[in-house]
Chain A
Amino acid sequence: MTTTMQWLFVAALAGLPLVMHDQYFFHVLIMMGIFTIGAMSLNLLLGYTGQLSLGHVAFFGIGAYTSALVSLGFDIQITETYTFVLAPKPAWFSLICSVTLAGLCGWFIGKLSFRVRGAYFVIVTISFAEVVRLVALNWVDLTEGPMALNNIPPLATALPGFDSGPLQRKIVNYYIVLGVAVFSFLVIKRIIQSRLGRAMVALRENEALAKSVGIDVTRYLVLAAIASAAIAGAAGGLYAHYVRIVDPDVFLFIYTVTMVIMVVSGGKGTLAGPVVGGVIFGLLPEFLRGHTVPEVQWMIYGALMILIVYFLPQGIVPAVNKWWTAYRSKRDQVVATNVSLGRNPQEQEG
């Protein structure tokens, strides 16, 4: 049932350009999609291994800067006499670079901090994001600092024949983001439903027991960090090629918070959770913008978040699953008395 629903959802999104012809509408969906990819990547760490990365935007920003720099070309003076020069590369290539470099940073952070977990990991990730932001701000020769990197080549030009108008470009960008989102979802799903995901859940649930049956806890945490960072890097790369301007503000803490909110409200540790959260908190600000002043917008935003966390502490997706299971078992009991209840729906209360 769920797999069918997932594909129906994707099909509906893919069909949208047939009925909608509003540029702004697609802009909102593209930004929503990019942050949903970020939220999905965060969920791999926060939801499945239980490690809160509060500097997740670092990987997003590293992806954005890598994509920008590789596609624009750059030079770094390494010694007095030697300068490393990189000629501008195609956008698709720079996107791959952004995934790779972000993944490497994930590996580094994972190796560095997973020996001390929990609160220490949170601190390391926050610091990491801040350090990267300061580098982006101050290494003016490379990153232009607060002047930002401009005129980043768009990914959309890579597809010939579509470059006819702003709406068409939006739609091509939309499909690219949708494609990357679906691909990321499938990668995460594959990880979660394999022995890799089982090992991650095991170390989240009971680390001592996980070790005692031969699970190398550090290895799977690092693996999750690599995958998570690489996907966040992809989201950052998409952002750079879409917005076409990158400044140190991509490292702002608020973006990490947005991703955390998406994951927690949608349901951490569920595949659909970050998607549901991403859709809600990606569309909500745009929806509210038409109706109220920004201050009221943010208050509604905050209030809704508190309500969700208060009434659905597990998030929206687990709550809906619970209702669905309860509804189905009630219905089945009428048909046959001998039903297996499956997961006890009362168990996750509170």
Chain B
Amino acid sequence: MNTHSMAGSPVLAVNNLAVHFGGLVAISDASFAVDEGEIVSLIGPNGAGKTTAFNVISGFLRATQGEIVYRGQRLNGLRPHEIAEAGLVRTFQKTSIFGNNTVFENVLIGLHRVSAASTWETLLALPKVRRRERQLRDEVREILDFVGLGHRGEELAGSLAYGEQRLLEIAVALAAKPSLLLLDEPACGMNPTEALSFRKLLSSISERRITILLVEHNMRMVMGVSDRVVVLNHGKIIANGPPAEIQKNPEVVRAYLGHGAQKHA
């Protein structure tokens, strides 16, 4: 999984990012990078600015300062769908699916980006378009099998168990064929068994040459899967390194356990 050396420039570079909401500073002067093929985790206590960072990177929020560069392309000012179009796809902290559609339809919608056909071609239903539609259906099945929802295709997404809904979110995101996947607390609310198989899923996504930036609270998972961990606290990056190093970092310990913990640590 360690492919640091092969990457010339990073897949994603966040440079001196600052986000202010009125007088509130959510993120100040944060810089970090994600290299090709890496799994990088962004961690920090609640309110540290992780989801804000995600929202800015994916275009749902505007940066106050700094820039976000994805494969050499500046993302600032692009709209969310344009960023997805570029291959950077995110998931949401709160379960976000098309609840009234079937599992199959959810993934089919996710394939929007790769189903590319012009409006006129689609309206005329050219043979090319119809052939593509059939291929898309095969792709949906392949993606559902990959995340382990192959047997659930015809069910309404809203009627799935919670853990399965979270897998479906990943399936929808994968359908958009990301080269960089941003996962916002994907394992939140999963039971230990589900979390374990989710770890395996993360590794197999990574094997598909998809770079992953992960926000997660489950430390066992973070330390287990990450190549590198970036720690945010009060909107500032306080540490950035391999999991083993992060676990020993006194500032990180202080951020999580408070000042008093230092004496005993």
Chain A residues numbered 206-228 whose CB sits less than 8 Å from any CB in chain B: 206, 208-217, 223
State the interface size on chain A (CB cutoff 8 A).
Answer: 29
Q: How long is the Cα–Cα vector from A195 to B99 in the complex, in angstroms? A: 18
By the criterion CB–CB under 8 Å, are B156 and A199 in contact?
no
Chain B residues numbered 91-124 whose CB sits less than 8 Å from any CB in chain A: 91-92, 96-102, 105, 108-110, 112-113, 115, 117, 119, 122-123
By the criterion CB–CB under 8 Å, are A205 and B125 in contact?
no
CB 8 Å contact bits of A185-215 with B (1 = contact, 0 = none): 0010011001110110110011011111111
User: Which residues from chain A contact B123 at a C-beta distance below 8 Å?
Assistant: 187, 190-191, 194, 196
Q: Which one of B79, B117, B119 contacts A223 once the chains associate, using CB atoms below 8 Å?
A: B119
Q: Which one of B100, B110, B175 contacts A205 once the chains associate, using CB atoms below 8 Å?
A: B100
State the interface size on chain B (CB cutoff 8 A).
Answer: 42
CB of B200 to closest CB in A, whole Å: 24
Query: Is B84 positioned at the interface, with any CB of A under 8 Å from its CB?
Result: yes
CB of B18 to closest CB in A, whole Å: 23
Q: Which one of B98, B122, B125 contacts A209 once the chains associate, using CB atoms below 8 Å?
A: B98
User: Which residues from chain A contact B122 at a C-beta distance below 8 Å?
Assistant: 190, 194-196
CB of A349 to closest CB in B, whole Å: 12
Q: Which of A105-113, A256-264, A282-290, A340-348 contacts B (4 or more CB under 8 A)?
A: A340-348
Q: How long is the Cα–Cα vector from A337 to B8 in the complex, in angstroms? A: 58
Query: Is B173 positioned at the interface, with any CB of A under 8 Å from its CB?
Result: yes
By the criterion CB–CB under 8 Å, are A344 and B156 in contact?
yes
Known: A199-B109, A223-B119. A213 touches B172 (CB 8 A): yes
User: Which residues from chain B contact A214 at a C-beta distance below 8 Å?
Assistant: 81, 84-85, 89, 112-113, 176
Q: Which one of B79, B84, B85, B108 contacts A198 once the chains associate, using CB atoms below 8 Å?
A: B108
CB of A185 to closest CB in B, whole Å: 14
By the criterion CB–CB under 8 Å, are A212 and B101 in contact?
no
Q: How long is the Cα–Cα vector from A341 to B109 in the complex, in angstroms? A: 22
Q: How long is the Cα–Cα vector from A213 to B159 in the complex, in angstroms? A: 22
Query: Is B80 positioned at the interface, with any CB of A under 8 Å from its CB?
Result: yes
Residue in A closest to B108 when the chains form the complex, CB atoms: A198
Q: How long is the Cα–Cα vector from A341 to B152 in the complex, in angstroms? A: 11
Q: How long is the Cα–Cα vector from A187 to B122 in the complex, in angstroms? A: 11
Query: Is B245 positioned at the interface, with any CB of A under 8 Å from its CB?
Result: no
By the criterion CB–CB under 8 Å, are A211 and B81 in contact?
yes
Chain B residues numbered 141-184 whose CB sits less than 8 Å from any CB in chain A: 154-156, 158-159, 172-173, 175-176
Query: Is B32 positioned at the interface, with any CB of A under 8 Å from its CB?
Result: no
Residue in B closest to A187 when the chains form the complex, CB atoms: B123
Q: Which one of A191, A208, A217, A343 contacts B156 once the chains associate, using CB atoms below 8 Å?
A: A343
Q: How long is the Cα–Cα vector from A210 to B84 in the complex, in angstroms? A: 10
User: Which residues from chain B contact A223 at a C-beta distance below 8 Å?
Assistant: 119
Q: Which one of B100, B105, B109, B133 contacts A213 once the chains associate, using CB atoms below 8 Å?
A: B109
By the criterion CB–CB under 8 Å, are B60 and A208 in contact?
yes
Residue in B closest to A197 when the chains form the complex, CB atoms: B122
Query: Is B90 positioned at the interface, with any CB of A under 8 Å from its CB?
Result: yes
Residue in A closest to B113 when the chains form the complex, CB atoms: A214
Query: Is B41 positioned at the interface, with any CB of A under 8 Å from its CB?
Result: no
By the criterion CB–CB under 8 Å, are B109 and A202 in contact?
yes
Known: A196-B119, A214-B113, A340-B154. A202 touches B80 (CB 8 A): no
Q: How long is the Cα–Cα vector from A196 to B123 in the complex, in angstroms? A: 9
By the criterion CB–CB under 8 Å, are A195 and B117 in contact?
yes
Q: How long is the Cα–Cα vector from A334 to B156 in the complex, in angstroms? A: 24
CB of B65 to closest CB in A, whole Å: 24
Q: How long is the Cα–Cα vector from A341 to B153 in the complex, in angstroms? A: 11
Q: Which one of A202, A342, A343, A344 contacts B112 once the chains associate, using CB atoms below 8 Å?
A: A202
CB of B94 to closest CB in A, whole Å: 10
- 22 pairs across A/B with beta carbons < 8 Å? A195-B112, A195-B122, A196-B119, A196-B123, A198-B108, A198-B112, A199-B112, A208-B60, A208-B80, A209-B98, A212-B84, A214-B84, A214-B85, A214-B89, A214-B112, A214-B113, A214-B176, A215-B109, A217-B81, A343-B156, A347-B156, A347-B159
Binding site for B on A (CB under 8 A): 187, 190-191, 194-196, 198-199, 201-202, 205-206, 208-217, 223, 340-344, 347
